[in-house]
C-alpha cells in the first residue's frame, strides 16, 4: 500500500497534516483532539499509523505476537549510503540489545538480564546515588542560580549507571555524546551530511561495548557486565556479542531517559508550586510525585511497533508490515482511564497506570532505578532548597525528534544563605 492510499484508507487527512511528529514542545491539546475524533491516523512523513488512545496502545503492547517491536530502533529517516558505509567499514553490527529483539531470543536474553538486574543491585548502589546527587548539588549550591538540566540532570544518571556497569567516571562525557548520536540517528531528522559524524560515533560506541565484555572476561568484577559474563561462563545461553548488545542498550536507555525525567519532572513540580511545597513539607509525597511526573510529562513520548499481519486498531485497517507510533504521552492523559487527566496532582491514586515505561514483554527493566534516582534527587533538593523556583522569563523548548521529550535547558534559582 502506498502512503497516499494509506492516507485515503484512514479517511480524513486533517490530522495527518496537522501532526508534526518531531515537535514535542506542547502536543497535548492536539493529542486530546485526536483521542476524541481520530484516535488512529496515518502520517506519511514518517510512514507510521499514529495511535493515541490508552486502551488501544496497551492492547498493542500486550499483543506482541501481532505487533512486533522489531522496528523500535530503526532510523525514522533512513541512513544515507555514506553513513551506512562508515558503520559497515567500522564493523558496527549492533542493532538492539533488547528492545527490538523478538521472542524467542528476546525471552532468553531478558531472563538472564533480569536475574542480575533486580532491586538487589539497585539498592546496593543507593548510598552511591546519594553521594553522587549531593556532590553534584554542592558544585552549584552557593551560586543561587543554575541551568539544572546542564549542570545536574545531564550527568547524574550517567554517573549512577556507570557505577552499575563499572565504567570509569572519565568516560561519562564520551558515552553521553554517543547516546546523543544514537538518539539523533534513530529518532531525529538529520540531513545526510549531518549523519556522518554520528555514524562514526556509533562505531566507537559499539567497539566500547565489545571491549567492555572482553575486559570482564579477562578480569571479572562485581558489576552488571561482570555478572553477565559470570553467568555465561556458568552455562547461561548468551553470547559475548549479545552481552555487548545488552550493554549497548543500557548505556543508552539507562541514563538519557532518567536525565529527561529529572528535567521535565522538576519543571512540572516548580510550575505547580503547591506540589513543590507539599514535597518540602511532607517527603512521603515524593513517591506519588515521581509517578505523576512520569505520567504527566513522560521522558519517552512515543514508541514503535510493526504489524505482522493485516489487522485493525479502533476500526482502522492496519496492513501487514505497517509501522505504528504509540503515543504514550497521549495515553497518559486519556480521561477514559485517568480522572481529571489534564490536572497535575501528586496525590492522585491512578498515576501508576501510566504507559511511560511501555507494557508487556518489553516493559522497561530499569524503571525502579530511574524512580529511585529521581526520588533521591527530589528528597535532597527539597531539603536543601525549599525556596527553589523557576528563573523568570524562560521559554521551554525541546530537541526535535519523535520520541524523547528532551528539554534544552531548565534555569532555576534559590536564595543563598550567608
Ligand atoms: C524515566 C526513565 C525511563 C523511561 C521513561 C524508560 C522507558 C522505556 C520504554 C518505553 C521501553 C520500551 C518498552 C516497550 O517496548 O514496551 C524501555 C525498555 C527498556 N529500558 Fe527503559 N526507561 C527508563 C529508564 C531505564 C533505565 C534506568 C534502564 C537501565 C538501567 C532502562 C533499560 C531499559 C531496557 C534494557 C529496555 C528494553 C527491555 C526489553 O526490551 O525487554 N530503562 N524503557
User: Alpha-carbon distance 313 to 299, whole Å?
Assistant: 25
Is the separation of the CB atoms in 209 and 248 below 8 Å? yes
Q: How many helices (H) and strands (E) does the chain have?
A: 19, 10
Residue 220 burial (C-beta neighbours within 10 Å; 0-12, 13-18, 19+): middle
Question: Is residue 95 included in any domain, yes or no?
Answer: yes
- The enclosing domain of 305 has a CATH number of 1.10.630.10
pLDDT higher than threshold 50 for residue 52 = yes
Ligand 1 mean position, distance from CA 342 (Å): 25
Q: What is the residue-averaged pLDDT of the chain?
A: 93
Question: Is residue 291 included in any domain, yes or no?
Answer: yes
Question: Is residue 164 included in any domain, yes or no?
Answer: yes
Residue-by-residue DSSP string for 66-122: TEE-TTTTS-SSPPPHHHHHHHHHTT-----SSTT--TTHHHHHHHHHHHTSSHHHH
Of the candidates 407, 288, 270, which has an alpha carbon nearest to the alpha carbon of residue 351? 288
Question: Is residue 418 included in any domain, yes or no?
Answer: no
pLDDT-based confidence at 12, cuts 50/70/90? low
- pLDDT tens-digit profile of 132-156? 999 999 999 999 999 999 999 999 9
Residue among 364, 372, 377 to mutate when testing ligand 1 (max atoms within 8 A of CB): 364
Question: Is residue 407 included in any domain, yes or no?
Answer: yes
Percent with pLDDT over 70 in the chain? 97
Q: How far is CA 52 from CA 56, 65, 74, 262, in A?
A: 8, 21, 21, 25
Ligand 1 mean position, distance from CA 215 (Å): 26
Residue 300 Cβ inside 6 Å of ligand 1? The answer reads: yes
Residue 357 Cβ inside 6 Å of ligand 1? The answer reads: yes
pLDDT score at 76: 84
Residue with CA nearest ligand 1 atom 3 = 257
pLDDT higher than threshold 80 for residue 2 = no
Q: Which residues contact 20 (CB under 8 A, 6 or more apart)?
A: none
Ligand 1 closest atom vs CA 359: 16
- pLDDT tens-digit profile of 102-130? 999 999 999 999 988 888 888 889 999 99
304 phi and psi, to 5 degrees?
-120, 155
pTM: 0.93
Residue 358 Cβ inside 6 Å of ligand 1? The answer reads: yes
Question: Is residue 152 included in any domain, yes or no?
Answer: yes
- pLDDT tens-digit profile of 253-309? 899 899 999 999 999 999 999 999 999 999 999 999 999 999 999 999 999 999 999
- pLDDT tens-digit profile of 390-413? 999 999 999 898 999 999 999 999
Question: Is residue 90 included in any domain, yes or no?
Answer: yes
325 phi and psi, to 5 degrees?
-105, 115
Q: Which domain holds residue 361?
A: 3-413
pLDDT score at 13: 61
State the total domains in the chain. Answer: 1
Question: Is residue 221 included in any domain, yes or no?
Answer: yes
Residue with CA nearest ligand 1 atom 15 = 362
Q: Which three cell numbers stand for residue 292?
A: 505523576
Amino acid at each position: 500500500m502506498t502512503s497516499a492510499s494509506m492516507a485515503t484508507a484512514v479517511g480524513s487527512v486533517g490530522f495527518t497534516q496537522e501532526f508534526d511528529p518531531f515537535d514535542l514542545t506542547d502536543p497535548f491539546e492536539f493529542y486530546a483532539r485526536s483521542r476524541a475524533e481520530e484516535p488512529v491516523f496515518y502520517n506519511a512523513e514518517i510512514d507510521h499509523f499514529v495511535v493515541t488512545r490508552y486502551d488501544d496502545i496497551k492492547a498493542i503492547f500486550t499483543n506482541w505476537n501481532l505487533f512486533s517491536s522489531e522496528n523500535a530502533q530503526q532510523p525514522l529517516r533512513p541512513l544515507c549510503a555514506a553513513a551506512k558505509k562508515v558503520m559497515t567499514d567500522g564493523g558496527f553490527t549492533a542493532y538492539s540489545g533488547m528492545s527490538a529483539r523478538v521472542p524467542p531470543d528476546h525471552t532468553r536474553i531478558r531472563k538472564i538480564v533480569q536475574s542480575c538486574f533486580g532491586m538487589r543491585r539497585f539498592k546496593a548502589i543507593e548510598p552511591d546515588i546519594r553521594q553522587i546527587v549531593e556532590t553534584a548539588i554542592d558544585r552549584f549550591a552557593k551560586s543561587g542560580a543554575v541551568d539544572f538540566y546542564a549542570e545536574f540532570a545531564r550527568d547524574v544518571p550517567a554517573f549512577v549507571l556507570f557505577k552499575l556497569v563499572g565504567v570509569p567516571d572519565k568516560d561519562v562525557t564520551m558515552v553521553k555524546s554517543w547516546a546523543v548520536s544514537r538518539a539523533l540517528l534513530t529518532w531525529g531528522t538529520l540531513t545526510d551530511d549531518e549523519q556522518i559524524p554520528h555514524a562514526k560515533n556509533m562505531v566507537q560506541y559499539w567497539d566500547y561495548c565489545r571491549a567492555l565484555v572482553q575486559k570482564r572476561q579477562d578480569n571479572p568484577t562485581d558489576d552488571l557486565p561482570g555478572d553477565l559474563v559470570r553467568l555465561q561462563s556458568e552455562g547461561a545461553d548468551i553470547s559475548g556479542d549479545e552481552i555487548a548488545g545488552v550493554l549497548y542498550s543500557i548505556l543508552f536507555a539507562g541514563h538519557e531517559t532518567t536525565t529527561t525525567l529529572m528535567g521535565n519532572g522538576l519543571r512540572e513540580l516548580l510550575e505547580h508550586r503547591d506540589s513543590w511545597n507539599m514535597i518540602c513539607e511532607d517527603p512521603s509525597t515524593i513517591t506519588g510525585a515521581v509517578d505523576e511526573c512520569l505520567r504527566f510529562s513522560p521522558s519517552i513520548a512515543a514508541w514503535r511497533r510493526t504489524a505482522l499481519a493485516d489487522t485493525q486498531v479502533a476500526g482502522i485497517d492496519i496492513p501487514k508490515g505497517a509501522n505504528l507510533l504509540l503515543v504514550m504521552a497521549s495515553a497518559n492523559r486519556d480521561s477514559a482511564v485517568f480522572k481529571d487527566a489534564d490536572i497535575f496532582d501528586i496525590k492522585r491514586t491512578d498515576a501508576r497506570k501510566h504507559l511511560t515505561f511501555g507494557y508487556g514483554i518489553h516493559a522497561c527493566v530499569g524503571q525502579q532505578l530511574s524512580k529511585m534516582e529521581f526520588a533521591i534527587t527530589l528528597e535532597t533538593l527539597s531539603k536543601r532548597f525549599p525556596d527553589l523556583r523557576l528563573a523568570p522569563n524562560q521559554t521551554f523548548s525541546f530537541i526535535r525528534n519523535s520520541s524523547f521529550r528532551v528539554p534544552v535547558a531548565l534555569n532555576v534559582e534559590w536564595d543563598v544563605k550567608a
